[in-house]
């Protein structure tokens, strides 16, 4: 063990950085992907022969499982943000 570098503390910093630096954005991406899961969209026929999706201008497709997963992901992200704000306020 080096006298200048505390490897245990360095490992903790790297681990927390990976979790919050890469994990939360990845979780956000999973939440967005879950929102775009196919759901109750129906295809309508158009007079000129092209198919059009019903409600194509909607952001959410209507999949209840996708909505549940997205809400869970976003709740974890909001909890992490709230905990970070709490740590900053409590330290000051």
Q: Which tens digits make up the pLDDT trace of 44-89? A: 555 555 555 555 555 566 788 999 999 999 999 999 999 999 999 9
In a domain, 36, yes or no: yes
49 sits in the region (left: phi over 0; alpha: psi -120 to 50; else beta) called left
In a domain, 64, yes or no: yes
In a domain, 66, yes or no: yes
Q: What is residue 1's DSSP assignment?
A: -
In a domain, 70, yes or no: yes
Overall domain count for the chain: 1
What mean pLDDT is reported for the chain? 82
In a domain, 83, yes or no: yes
What residues make up the domain containing 64?
28-40+57-92
Instruction: List the single range of 25-29, 37-41, 46-50, 73-77 with lowest mean pLDDT.
Output: 46-50
In a domain, 16, yes or no: no
């Amino acid at each position: 063990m080096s006298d200048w570098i505390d490897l245990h503390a360095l490992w903790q910093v790297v681990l927390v950085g990976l979790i919050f630096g890469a994990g939360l954005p990845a979780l956000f991406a999973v939440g967005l992907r879950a929102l775009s899961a196919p759901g109750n969209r129906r295809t309508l026929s158009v007079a000129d022969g092209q198919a059009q999706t019903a409600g194509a201008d909607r952001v959410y497709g209507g999949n209840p499982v996708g909505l549940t997963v997205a809400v869970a992901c976003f709740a974890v992200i909001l909890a992490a943000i709230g905990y970070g704000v709490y740590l900053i306020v409590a330290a000051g």
